[in-house]
Structure 1
Amino acid sequence: MSTQTTPQLPLPSSFDAAKVGEVWRVPYQQRAVEAREWAEKHNIQPAAEDKTRICLLLIDVQNTFCIPDFELFVGGKSGMGAVEDNVRLCEFIYHNLGVISAIAPTMDTHTAMQIFHPIFWINAGGEHPTPAATLITPEDIHQGTWKVNPAVADSLTNGDYSKLEKHALHYVNQLSNAGKYPLTVWPYHSMLGGIGHALVSAVEEALFFHCIARNSQTRFEIKGNNPLTENYSILRPEVLDDVSGRPISEKNTSLIQYLLEFDAVIIAGQAKSHCVAWTIADLLTEIQLLDASLAKKVYLLEDCTSPVVVPGVVDYSEQADEVFERFAAAGMNLVKSTQPLESWAEFPGIIK
């Protein structure tokens, strides 16, 4: 496949880096007019005409993770990680608008009564665990440190408290046996219908602009709405089967197939140590089952993702870096959003 140098597009005047860390309404009709004019001015063709097809997979670029003072803001090492990441991400999308064929954002989607939220658990005193600071292990359940809150059984298992107890113990055992992080009790976040669930406004605007300019429908992917399992990865839940071996959720096979049809898949989002890492790990597993050489078509935007860091509580920076090194060793490419695509190793030729 031949390679052609493709100059980066300029940033549209509507983009304001200073507003990336804020929540605001996207003026859709105005941006639609501007995007069509932008496409005409810069001779941007519909994505259907791309000979080399490139997908940008964005993991959980939502207010709950990316806006300061929201529930699970990913500050990273700098303290403003997700905001800084999203400035670079928006600029990357606009600069490469003419060659990104499709964009698929994932949407972490929760309700209050889920296995990783405080209401699900109580101690002997009837108190709920402190979110972000509580990890629940099999030993915690055996010792009675934490137990399932009987009050949630009516909503989740039609009042069958014993069934919910058995599931909870099975669940934390499965996490432990698989070598995954212990069950983390998270603050209520990404609540369906809430502001935190929405995409970051600046990113939403960039995706809408891309959709109109390239006539490419944004492919939204929902994850995390099953109350009985976590879903860090968009490709599969943390635990697939219940205590009886029956499925409680399924792999996202349609998305796996969709991604692997592209010539290149670029991945960014939050958080590097959790949902991004888990998604990439699951994608790598699927690739290795099919053809290990396909790993080279995956590009990880290292400067558009940050690890979970809660000062004085947890810091997953080292774990995140280690797992990204493992991805690179398997053939995936660690790249920077500020580098021209043509400089990325193994990147497929960009043909207009």
Structure 2
Amino acid sequence: MKTAYEQIINIDHIASFESRERMTDILALAQAENTKPAQRDKKRTLLLAIDVQHDFMEGIGSLAVPGSKGDVQRLTQWIYRNMESLTQVICSLDCHSMMQIFHPAWWLDQEGKYPQPFTIITYADVANGIWRAANGETERSLEYLHNLASGDKKQLCIWPYHCLEGTFGAKLESEFTKMLYFHAAARQTTPVLVYKGQNPYTEMYGIIKAEYDREQYVNHTVLDAMVEYDAIYIAGEASSHCVLASAEQILEHFADQREITSRITLLEDCMSPISGFEDSTQQQFKALQEIYGIQIKKSTDVIL
């Protein structure tokens, strides 16, 4: 590589308001590399980057994940080291409106007050009148809560407003974005951006499907794309929620195809859990490793 990592990434600006993307300069540097086009790769490799967005970055995000700044530094360093072998990047982005079932504006208590962030709302709470939907959608909300409970899904947690469409918080982290597009220009490819979480009636932690929705949406575009790669690497935020849910959904879909699940590697030092979920997340990833044969490695141990 003629371009140094430091010419692309300013590590002091990761997870900060100071970053300036300078995309024209970044693309010019990348195009001067004369790197082999991605379409000529004999071994096709994919990075699935989950929700590497400002609102999940420590220090600046409304739903900040401790450790996320270091995760971005290590992930961009891994992309840089493997520039000539990494074929494609798919990025998921949480994308929400203010009025969604997991945001405070959806709910009112008996005094007409909104719930505080991290409040847990159950079917019984709503059935007993402790909470009601501010927009009159109480019956639809009860349906959702019932299906969460009967489907053994996560309880409904009221999250701080995050990744609101069109805001700074919803954008990909700026330094990561530089490396993403440097790779795209150098390898003559186009990154794939997948938006999730826009259905107001449900939570969508994973990239493939919601916790519950009437339409039973499944993102076959991503699933079909994954079949085309010989090796798949997963990183992002938060490991305890959106990364874990994405991995579970992908592995469940390919449960009978060990030749696909064995291609998947979690870059464990390029993801961090929400505080309080450290041990449970590690245990769940180990269980997935035992069941599906995935690999869990540090980015520094993976050379493509």
TM value normalised by structure 2: 0.95
User: What secondary structure, in the 3-state scheme, does the structure 2 residue paired with 1:267 have?
Assistant: strand
Match of 1:78 in 2: none
Count of residue correspondences: 301
* 2:297 aligned partner, one-letter code: V
- Mapping 1:1-352, distance limit 5 Å: 11-23=5-17, 24-37=19-32, 39-40=33-34, 44-75=35-66, 81-132=67-118, 134-149=119-134, 152=135, 161=136, 164-241=137-214, 247=215, 250-289=217-256, 291-309=257-275, 315-329=276-290, 330-341=292-303
Partner Cα separation in structure 1 for residue 36 and residue 106 of structure 2? 50
**TM superposition shift of 1:165:** 1.7
Partner Cα separation in structure 2 for residue 12 and residue 50 of structure 1? 26
**TM superposition shift of 1:29:** 1.2
**TM superposition shift of 1:143:** 2.1
* 1:222 aligned partner, one-letter code: Y
Q: C-alpha deviations, 1:276-311, integer Å up to 9, x for none?
A: 00000000011114x1332110010000111111xx
Match of 1:157 in 2: none
- Checking the alignment, whether the CA contact within 8 Å between 1:174 and 1:239 is kept in structure 2 is yes
RMSD: 1.5
Partner Cα separation in structure 1 for residue 195 and residue 43 of structure 2? 27
Q: C-alpha deviations, 1:303-343, integer Å up to 9, x for none?
A: 0111111xxxxx111221111111211200001111142xx
Q: C-alpha deviations, 1:88-139, integer Å up to 9, x for none?
A: 011011111111100011110001000000010111000110012x011112
- Checking the alignment, whether the CA contact within 8 Å between 1:67 and 1:200 is kept in structure 2 is no
Partner Cα separation in structure 2 for residue 340 and residue 257 of structure 1? 25
User: What secondary structure, in the 3-state scheme, does the structure 2 residue paired with 1:302 have?
Assistant: strand
* % identical equivalent positions: 31
Partner Cα separation in structure 2 for residue 202 and residue 67 of structure 1? 14
- Checking the alignment, whether the CA contact within 8 Å between 1:20 and 1:202 is kept in structure 2 is yes
- Checking the alignment, whether the CA contact within 8 Å between 1:10 and 1:94 is kept in structure 2 is no
**TM superposition shift of 1:22:** 1.5
Partner Cα separation in structure 1 for residue 178 and residue 167 of structure 2? 18
User: What secondary structure, in the 3-state scheme, does the structure 1 residue paired with 2:192 have?
Assistant: coil
- Structure 1 stretches lacking a partner, 5+ long: 1-6, 76-80, 153-160, 242-246, 310-314, 342-349
Partner Cα separation in structure 2 for residue 279 and residue 340 of structure 1? 21
Match of 1:345 in 2: none
User: What secondary structure, in the 3-state scheme, does the structure 2 residue paired with 1:293 have?
Assistant: helix
User: What secondary structure, in the 3-state scheme, does the structure 1 residue paired with 2:233 have?
Assistant: strand
**Structure ID, larger Rg:** 1
**TM superposition shift of 1:63:** 0.1
User: What secondary structure, in the 3-state scheme, does the structure 1 residue paired with 2:234 have?
Assistant: strand
**TM superposition shift of 1:14:** 3.0
Partner Cα separation in structure 1 for residue 55 and residue 46 of structure 2? 24
User: What secondary structure, in the 3-state scheme, does the structure 2 residue paired with 1:274 have?
Assistant: helix
* 1:322 aligned partner, one-letter code: Q
User: What secondary structure, in the 3-state scheme, does the structure 2 residue paired with 1:87 have?
Assistant: helix
- Structure 2 stretches lacking a partner, 5+ long: none
Q: C-alpha deviations, 1:214-268, integer Å up to 9, x for none?
A: 0010100000011111110111111131xxxxx2x51101111101221011000
Partner Cα separation in structure 1 for residue 10 and residue 171 of structure 2? 19
**TM superposition shift of 1:12:** 4.9
- Checking the alignment, whether the CA contact within 8 Å between 2:8 and 2:179 is kept in structure 1 is no
Q: C-alpha deviations, 1:33-76, integer Å up to 9, x for none?
A: 11112x23xxx20000000000100000000001413200001x
TM value normalised by structure 1: 0.83
Partner Cα separation in structure 2 for residue 62 and residue 36 of structure 1? 26
Partner Cα separation in structure 2 for residue 226 and residue 25 of structure 1? 32
Partner Cα separation in structure 1 for residue 203 and residue 253 of structure 2? 20
